[in-house]
Amino acid sequence: MFEHEQFQKKLYGRRKGPKLSAHKEDLRRTLLPAHALTIVPGADPRTCFAPPVEDVWLEVGFGAGEHMLALARSNPSVGLIGAEPYESGVAKLLSHMADDPPPNLRIHEGDARDILAALPDGTLGKIFVLFPDPWPKTRHHKRRFVQTEMLTAFARVLRPGGEFRFASDDAGYAAWTLERALAHPAFAWTAKSPADFTARPANWPPTRYEAKALHGPPVYYSFIRVFAG
């Protein structure tokens, strides 16, 4: 269903974790199919949702899904698409949403590049990359998800005025991302002072990983898609 020939990067990181409980395995069998992403390459992603939605947002690597689920429940007119290759993360999201599954949430248990390659130009309102693996060793920096070519892919699928949000508790990855985003002609950083990126905005739901802040104080960057070319 998906192709991403323009991306040469391998997907790094775990896909399998500890054996899932019987309850989570059951959720994967019963709940996941109803919320699994089905997208026809080149089709408007709003058609993936019923009832219809007015906008579509993408979260790359949603972890346990707290952020995406909170957004789906507080923005019923927006379709949320989440990509997460880690099976246990998908299972955790399913367990969080089991009692009240939002109709405006779709899950791709795989590489977000699959989705980016399938989307038409200018069809997303927001993209979130929150607390990704920092790959801190220099020889592993090529494994970081945020690269210049990935920002170009984001720029293609974001509509003008759309937003790319990035958060990290790793100072090295934060500096890496800021350097590349500032150098990219399609994005403008919204921050006017340190207070604009050192405190989580009120409309930015927290995540379980953020609460741990393993590497240091988190930063929260927001970049706007500034031109249509």
CATH number for the domain including 57? 3.40.50.150
Q: Using 50, 70 and 90 to split pLDDT, how confident is the model at 7?
A: very low
Residue 84 assigned to a binding site:
yes
Provide the Cα torsion 33, 39, 44, 46; round to 10°: 10
Residue 13 forms part of a structural domain:
no
- Please count the structural domains in the chain: 1
Mean pLDDT of the chain: 89
Residue 49 forms part of a structural domain:
yes
110 three-class SS: coil
Residue 159 forms part of a structural domain:
yes
DSSP letter assigned to residue 206? -
Does 5 score more than 50 pLDDT? Answer: no
Q: What is the percent of the chain where pLDDT is above 70?
A: 90
Do residues 209 and 129 make contact, with C-beta atoms less than 8 angstroms apart?
no
Do residues 89 and 126 make contact, with C-beta atoms less than 8 angstroms apart?
no
Can you spell out the DSSP letters for 118-165? HSPTT-EEEEEEES-----SGGGGGG-S--HHHHHHHHHHEEEEEEEE
Per-residue pLDDT tens over the stretch 154-186? 999 999 999 999 999 999 999 999 999 999 999
Residue 88 forms part of a structural domain:
yes
Does 148 score more than 90 pLDDT? Answer: yes
| Candidates 121, 133, 170, 196; catalytic one | 133
Do residues 164 and 187 make contact, with C-beta atoms less than 8 angstroms apart?
yes
Residue 16 forms part of a structural domain:
no
Residue 5 assigned to a binding site:
no
Cβ count near 60 (within 10 Å): 23
**Residues of the chain by 3-state class (helix, strand, coil), percent to 5:** 35, 20, 45
Backbone angles phi, psi at 84, to 5 degrees: -150, 115
pTM of the model: 0.89
Does 69 score more than 70 pLDDT? Answer: yes
**Residue 99 designated active-site:** no
108 three-class SS: strand
The residue ranking higher by pLDDT, 17 or 140, is 140
Does 94 score more than 70 pLDDT? Answer: yes
Residue 11 forms part of a structural domain:
no
Residue 154 forms part of a structural domain:
yes
Residue 133 assigned to a binding site:
yes
The neighbouring-strand residues paired with 78 are 55
Residue 9 forms part of a structural domain:
no
Residue 207 assigned to a binding site:
yes
Q: Which domain holds residue 188?
A: 22-225
Q: Are strands 78-83 and 105-108 parallel, antiparallel or unpaired?
A: parallel
